[in-house]
Structure 1
Amino acid sequence: MADNDVRSSLLDVSNLAIKTKTRTLVADFNLSMKRGDRVGLIGESGSGKSMTASALMGLLPEGASAQGSIQLAGHPGNLVDASDKELQKIRGKDMAMVFQEPLTALNPLMKVGRQVAEIMTTHKVVATKAEARKRAVELLASVKLPDPERAARAYPHQLSGGQRQRAMLAMALANDPGLLLCDEPTTALDVTVQRQVLELIQESVAERGTGLLFITHDLSVVANVCDRVLVMNNGRIVEEGSTAQVFSNPQHPYTRGLLAASDLNATDAEGRLFTVASAAAYTPPTIEDPQAQPQAQAEAEKPAATAAPQAAAEGNQLVISVKDLVRTYPVGRTALFGKPGEVQALRGISFDVAAGQRFGVVGESGSGKSTLLRILAGLDQPTSGSVQVAGNQIAGAKEKDLLQLRQQLQIVFQDPMGSLDPRMKVRDIIAEPLLAPGQKVDSAKHRRQVAEMLGAVGLPAEAAERFPHQFSGGQRQRISIARALVCQPKVLVADEPVSALDVSVRAQVLNLLSDLVDDYQLTLVFVSHDLSVVRYICDNVVVMNHGQIVESGTTEQIYGNPRHEYTRTLVNSSMSLREELASR
């Protein structure tokens, strides 16, 4: 690519519309990009972001069609009218895409190196297959895979999530495309891996002069990566401009609402997170002074410090006590005459949780969080050590001994659709924990309790007669919370309860959880890899890594002055909207 071509026109989209037989999904979409531009396309689920990207790539699902004009540098025709054969010559060569979930985008039956090489041989950019294989290893090295030759010989399932995403990026960049589309490429990654992948994407497109269209619902990521931003709502662009301009001085109410709900460093006059509904009172950060905020937001720098009045009132009464907890799992032999191996999921951890406390468990994939959660809930047994929850000894307990625990500890899971029975009506889902073995069913009482819980989580009474699929993701999570609280437990365990939600819904659910913890005097154990969420809702935190607690303390101690190297890495890798704008 010649130097004088670096800032030439790359992509021009005019009046793009995407329709099905019954509805319009995207309307009047316009975008102009030059080589080297980094543009963010943001919006919530259903806004039309991914459908727009699919139209640009000529990959619309069956039943959807595009109208308008898509012009790509080097191709004189309108890509909307191009045949699939013509688009196949463009995809992977002149424009390429990195998807959200690489495990579904990569061929599970083909080694990674061969998949990268195939991109080059298909478009005939290398002379021989041997040259393609050699170049594939070089590309895997360029995306900083630790052992590129070994990665080339591996199948996708043998790589970690971050490594698979790096392999996807290597494939996308194999033929030096002019345009790179990234559709939520870091949503499923841990914070440290997310930071690494984002830096890698920026370095790669800068070296090649590639245009980047970055699609996401995470505004802090856009502030980190993009120079320009388009805000999409209900299939239309409602605002666009430079990232600094749009994020510091939003003109459209929806943009302000997204910013307000994304900014976990800001709270309203009542100490609650802003939502789209309450965003009118939100003051966006300014580039000149990103920490400047109105009085109502001043306490946001230490939101969790006032979050647990019960903990102090209850004194040192312990609800959870874990001592020297070890959990080891056997694994099969790796050789015919080899010894069976074992995996140490938990390596002698100890901690206490006082009544009324909001206790955060932070760690990345493989840290042992999920194993700890299963043991606390009585769904798994420790190899050794002592675990007491609400007066129940877990170690060595039989299922019949855990009936009381089932009433006193309830869990809200990450994916409500996966934890709610799709064949049951909401009334039966919420009432199910009330059905204790051997006790007579009091239908009238159960109906009253279900109605009370629906009201407590902000759902209408008629929701009881509907099925889970008839609700949005945020509403389904409210149903999960109602189900967890209907039997009035002492302990609520929340396992990544907002990681699958849009930012505006995330703020609503976090506010709801915070209110219910106070109203029902619950002890909250909040498990997450999202440090900003834990900082808002928890007052004490333990940091886990490789089955050990590497640091523990109050939220402000952990975040303000982390002592362990791993904790510092986590804190430095996490993204907040204000900090990303400040570093621009």
Structure 2
Amino acid sequence: MDAPHNAPALIEVKNLSISTKTRSLVSNFNLRMQPGDRVGLIGESGSGKSMTASALMGLLPEGVSATGSIHLAGHAGNLVDASDKQWQKIRGKDMTMVFQEPLTALNPLMKVGPQVAEIMTSHKSVPSKSAARSKAVEMLESVKLPDPQRAARAYPHQLSGGQRQRAMLAMALANKPGLLLCDEPTTALDVTVQRQVLDLILESVTELGTGLLFITHDLSVVANVCDRVLVMNNGQVVEEGSTVEVFTNPQHPYTRGLLAASDLNATDEKGRLFTVASAAAYVPPTENEPEPEDLAQLAAVSAEATAGRPVLPLPAGDEPVISVEDLHRRYPVARSTLFGKPSEVHALRGVSFEVAAGQRFGVVGESGSGKSTLLRILAGLDQPTSGSVKVAGNQISGAKERDLIQLRQQLQIVFQDPMGSLDPRMRVRDIIAEPLLAPGQKVDSAKQRKLVAEMLGAVGLPRDAAERFPHQFSGGQRQRISIARALICEPRVLVADEPVSALDVSVRAQVLNLLSDLVDDYQLTLVFVSHDLGVVRHLCDNVVVMNNGQIVESGSTEQIYDNPQHDYTRTLVNSSMSLRNELSLR
């Protein structure tokens, strides 16, 4: 519940502007928070939200300066003008931050317990070093780390991503700060871990009465966590108000566009996801939104609207495009001690499934479930330990590289990180044409140029993009280049490995619409690998759910999502967040 507006402010920011010598990054940012307030700061990449957070923590990079005023309860003067010495007394004590990637924020050479203890001893909030060590274990226990004593003795790399984020939260809350800033703290986490960490953040700030400023591009997370929201675009706050008010009755076109693109349960009259450009026709959620069980029916209706793509059972005698039978993959693990026994990781355990021609086949699972190992084997980039794998008529099990030339033409992959999969030294025309250089392909230079131009048009990029380099494009445009490269040799199977997880929500909607159109236009079989259940539900007609190297459940998308049978599937579905669900539960 909000404190009275005339109550003393925990933090008050007035006319904060941030710039380099050549350009403005943030203009006239204003914020007033009372103790216990939970405020969301949302916007896409480049909107200025992370730069604003850096300014609030006194962490602006070299060459970036700020004007305006920042006043924090208990500290006299304007923090915009504060010295490093003054900030050292504030950071970690009265104001703390949890970053997006805990592995880069934690000291890799220092055990976790001493790192939590150090934040207390440096601010003298405990009487002695031994008291700090004891309190550090208590803090690790308070953030629900299993075996906190062991976690305290571990180095950051020995913990999982979710455990590292819990350790970061323990450090941030160790001195009971008045204000906690969270900058995309759950973006890199699996859905079940994300839900646990969000619940933990809420529980912790509520218990301590801490103010929370939550920075994210994920609107469903804001609907879950925050009471008030500020929307940033191009360095300016374009809309602010209560979360329910802004999300159900957006006043600014950009806010409506963000909401439309975030809402995977809503599609236009053609069954396509809304984008910022098509958001005028989008109807936001209402305060009288149906209960979550009714939303399942709405989503099913939405799925039918994407119609025109039902997959029929395989006709008798027709072979599936992909056939996997009793697939196992074991990896040897190096000895941990000189006299220890060598061990192995069983990444895939008896996996079997078939994919029909034209099917949109989803593979869902969290980190370590085996889905990436499965993808590598399907693409002929790894060999199974045992079992049979046949893709587009190519037997992969036991095949040598020379036997997989046809597979390289029949199956193409779109990777998660387009920048990592595109050669920065190559022009786009050469990147897209690269699959045409594979053995068995005979394409002269004139036809090659024609095909590149056609593919650029198909993915919605201008012709002159062919002469540029990958760094000259945005993340969404780079993913379009990856898709063009994948389709230029007319494959039968397109494998997409988390292709939209690194993209902003508006770009995500565009790329998903593009993939859907291209799958239909080129009559592709799509294998879509993701941990995002909302995306898989929108795009796929059949799903397998993976856990610990096994398929624990499989079936049609509606069946898996509306009536999950396995405990793990139920946990995944219940942990998954959608904008409408989170608003309906407020």
State the TM-score bracket (shorter-chain normalisation): over 0.9
* Structure 1 residues 308 and 539: CA distance shift in structure 2, 3 A: farther
How many Å apart are 1:332 and its aligned residue?
1.3
| Contact kept? 1:308, 1:356, Cα under 8 Å | no
TM-score (norm 1): 0.97
Match of 2:559 in 1: 557
Task: Give the fraction of aligned pairs with identical amino acids, expressed as a percent.
Answer: 82
| Contact kept? 2:265, 2:298, Cα under 8 Å | no
| Contact kept? 1:7, 1:35, Cα under 8 Å | no
Counterparts of 1:250-261 in structure 2 under 5 Å? 250-261=250-261
How many Å apart are 1:207 and its aligned residue?
0.4
Distance in 2, matches of 1:248 and 1:301, equals 21
How many Å apart are 1:317 and its aligned residue?
3.9
| Contact kept? 1:369, 1:527, Cα under 8 Å | yes
Counterpart of 2:33 in structure 1: which amino acid? M
Match of 1:413 in 2: 415
* Structure 1 residues 432 and 528: CA distance shift in structure 2, 3 A: same
Match of 2:571 in 1: 569
* Structure 1 residues 251 and 439: CA distance shift in structure 2, 3 A: closer
Counterpart of 1:149 in structure 2: which amino acid? Q
Match of 1:466 in 2: 468
| Contact kept? 1:290, 1:581, Cα under 8 Å | no
How many Å apart are 1:312 and its aligned residue?
2.3
Counterparts of 1:426-505 in structure 2 under 5 Å? 426-437=428-439, 441-505=443-507
Distance in 2, matches of 1:165 and 1:439, equals 48
Distance in 2, matches of 1:90 and 1:299, equals 47
Counterpart of 1:126 in structure 2: which amino acid? V
* Structure 1 residues 301 and 33: CA distance shift in structure 2, 3 A: farther
1:361 counterpart = 2:363: yes
* Structure 1 residues 291 and 515: CA distance shift in structure 2, 3 A: farther
Describe the SS at the equivalent of 1:469: helix
| Contact kept? 2:412, 2:494, Cα under 8 Å | yes
Distance in 1, matches of 2:304 and 2:527, equals 14
How many Å apart are 1:163 and its aligned residue?
0.2
Deviation digits for residues 84-135 of structure 1 (CA, Å, limit 9, x no counterpart): 1100110000000000000000000000000000000000111110000000
Distance in 1, matches of 2:305 and 2:544, equals 16
Match of 1:73 in 2: 73
* Structure 1 residues 302 and 61: CA distance shift in structure 2, 3 A: same
Distance in 1, matches of 2:10 and 2:306, equals 51
Distance in 1, matches of 2:360 and 2:558, equals 13
Distance in 2, matches of 1:223 and 1:304, equals 27
Match of 1:331 in 2: 333
Corresponding pairs, count: 578
Match of 1:141 in 2: 141
Deviation digits for residues 457-492 of structure 1 (CA, Å, limit 9, x no counterpart): 000000000000000000000000000000000000
* Structure 1 residues 314 and 511: CA distance shift in structure 2, 3 A: farther
Distance in 2, matches of 1:372 and 1:101, equals 26
How many Å apart are 1:298 and its aligned residue?
5.8
| Contact kept? 2:300, 2:558, Cα under 8 Å | no
| Contact kept? 1:285, 1:291, Cα under 8 Å | no
How many Å apart are 1:336 and its aligned residue?
2.3
Match of 2:192 in 1: 192
Describe the SS at the equivalent of 1:423: coil
Counterpart of 1:475 in structure 2: which amino acid? Q
How many Å apart are 1:306 and its aligned residue?
4.9
| Contact kept? 1:7, 1:36, Cα under 8 Å | no
| Contact kept? 1:359, 1:541, Cα under 8 Å | yes
Distance in 2, matches of 1:4 and 1:174, equals 28
RMSD: 1.8
Describe the SS at the equivalent of 2:171: helix
How many Å apart are 1:254 and its aligned residue?
0.1
How many Å apart are 1:287 and its aligned residue?
1.4
Counterparts of 1:35-434 in structure 2 under 5 Å? 35-290=35-290, 301-303=301-303, 306-307=306-307, 309=309, 311-312=311-312, 315=315, 317-434=319-436
Distance in 1, matches of 2:49 and 2:507, equals 18
Counterpart of 1:120 in structure 2: which amino acid? M
Match of 1:507 in 2: 509
Which of 523, 526, 529 lines up with 1:527 in the alignment?
529
Unaligned runs of 5+ in 1: none
Counterpart of 2:497 in structure 1: which amino acid? D
Counterpart of 2:221 in structure 1: which amino acid? V
Distance in 1, matches of 2:290 and 2:238, equals 24
* Structure 1 residues 304 and 160: CA distance shift in structure 2, 3 A: farther
How many Å apart are 1:286 and its aligned residue?
0.6
Match of 1:23 in 2: 23
How many Å apart are 1:562 and its aligned residue?
0.0
Describe the SS at the equivalent of 2:213: strand
How many Å apart are 1:4 and its aligned residue?
12
Distance in 2, matches of 1:192 and 1:215, equals 20
Counterpart of 1:344 in structure 2: which amino acid? H
Distance in 1, matches of 2:355 and 2:498, equals 19
Distance in 2, matches of 1:175 and 1:549, equals 44
| Contact kept? 1:302, 1:556, Cα under 8 Å | no
* Structure 1 residues 567 and 308: CA distance shift in structure 2, 3 A: farther
Distance in 1, matches of 2:551 and 2:55, equals 47
TM-score (norm 2): 0.96
Distance in 2, matches of 1:347 and 1:133, equals 42
Counterpart of 2:238 in structure 1: which amino acid? V
Unaligned runs of 5+ in 2: none
* Structure 1 residues 251 and 302: CA distance shift in structure 2, 3 A: closer
Distance in 2, matches of 1:365 and 1:438, equals 37
| Contact kept? 1:326, 1:348, Cα under 8 Å | yes
* Structure 1 residues 300 and 451: CA distance shift in structure 2, 3 A: farther
Distance in 1, matches of 2:5 and 2:445, equals 73
Deviation digits for residues 507-531 of structure 1 (CA, Å, limit 9, x no counterpart): 0000000000000000000000000
Distance in 2, matches of 1:371 and 1:319, equals 19
| Contact kept? 2:260, 2:274, Cα under 8 Å | yes
* Structure 1 residues 119 and 522: CA distance shift in structure 2, 3 A: same
Counterpart of 1:347 in structure 2: which amino acid? R
Describe the SS at the equivalent of 1:157: helix
* Structure 1 residues 136 and 299: CA distance shift in structure 2, 3 A: closer
Counterpart of 2:458 in structure 1: which amino acid? A
* Structure 1 residues 507 and 489: CA distance shift in structure 2, 3 A: same
How many Å apart are 1:265 and its aligned residue?
0.1
Deviation digits for residues 17-44 of structure 1 (CA, Å, limit 9, x no counterpart): 0010000000010000000000000000
| Contact kept? 1:47, 1:232, Cα under 8 Å | yes
How many Å apart are 1:288 and its aligned residue?
1.6
Deviation digits for residues 127-157 of structure 1 (CA, Å, limit 9, x no counterpart): 1100000000000000000110000000000
Describe the SS at the equivalent of 2:10: strand
